[in-house]
């Protein structure tokens, strides 16, 4: 059986030998009732590279890897007041599921919303 640690992954996007983005993913948590839920912990693309398809490529590969790791669905958290990023997630198949929490980043706390995506392949 594959260990939980083996399911943590970080993707790195490189253009012209320069790292321009990354995505980090793995299990949502270790509770028994959500062991089949993955999480996209972070995705980032340098601002001057955004709009060139790097983020979309990272997202496609992230979803593919979460699916191949056996997760049935995945979640991510995003600041509520981040319309551009929320639109990107929605365009790539994620849906807000009503979950909310206060997220602290660099000493500032702001409301965050949870997005979810189904990863199970449809039955044939």
Quick: pLDDT tens for 6-58: 579 999 999 999 999 999 999 987 565 667 899 999 999 999 999 999 999 99
Distance CA 86, CA 30 (A): 26
In a domain? residue 58: yes
In a domain? residue 44: yes
Which parts of 73-116 fold into alpha helices (H)?
Answer: 83-91
In a domain? residue 9: yes
Q: How many domains does the chain have?
A: 1
In a domain? residue 48: yes
Q: In the predicted model, what is the mean pLDDT of residues 101-110?
A: 92
Range of the domain at 51: 4-118
**In the predicted model, is pLDDT for residue 78 greater than 90?**
yes
In a domain? residue 124: no
Distance CA 76, CA 97 (A): 10
In a domain? residue 71: yes
Closest by CA position to 12, among listed 27, 28, 25, 30: 25
Name the 3-class secondary structure at 59: helix
Exposure string of 73-90, with b = 16+ CB inside 10 Å and e = fewer, is bbbbbbeeeeeeebebbe
What pLDDT is stored for residue 1 in this prediction?
A: 39
CATH number for 34 = 3.40.630.30
In a domain? residue 28: yes
In a domain? residue 123: no
Distance CA 51, CA 56 (A): 9
pTM metric for this prediction = 0.86
């Amino acid at each position: 059986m594959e260990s939980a640690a083996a399911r943590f992954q970080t993707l790195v996007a490189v253009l012209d030998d320069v790292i321009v983005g990354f995505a980090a993913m793995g299990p949502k948590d270790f509770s028994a009732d959500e062991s089949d839920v993955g999480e996209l912990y972070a995705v980032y693309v340098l601002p001057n590279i955004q709009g060139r398809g790097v983020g979309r490529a990272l997202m496609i590969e992230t979803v593919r890897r979460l699916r191949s790791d056996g997760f049935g669905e995945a979640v991510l958290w995003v600041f509520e007041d981040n319309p551009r990023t929320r639109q990107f997630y929605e365009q790539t198949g994620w849906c807000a599921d009503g979950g909310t929490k206060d997220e602290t980043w660099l000493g500032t706390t702001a409301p965050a919303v949870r997005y979810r995506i189904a990863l199970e392949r449809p039955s044939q």
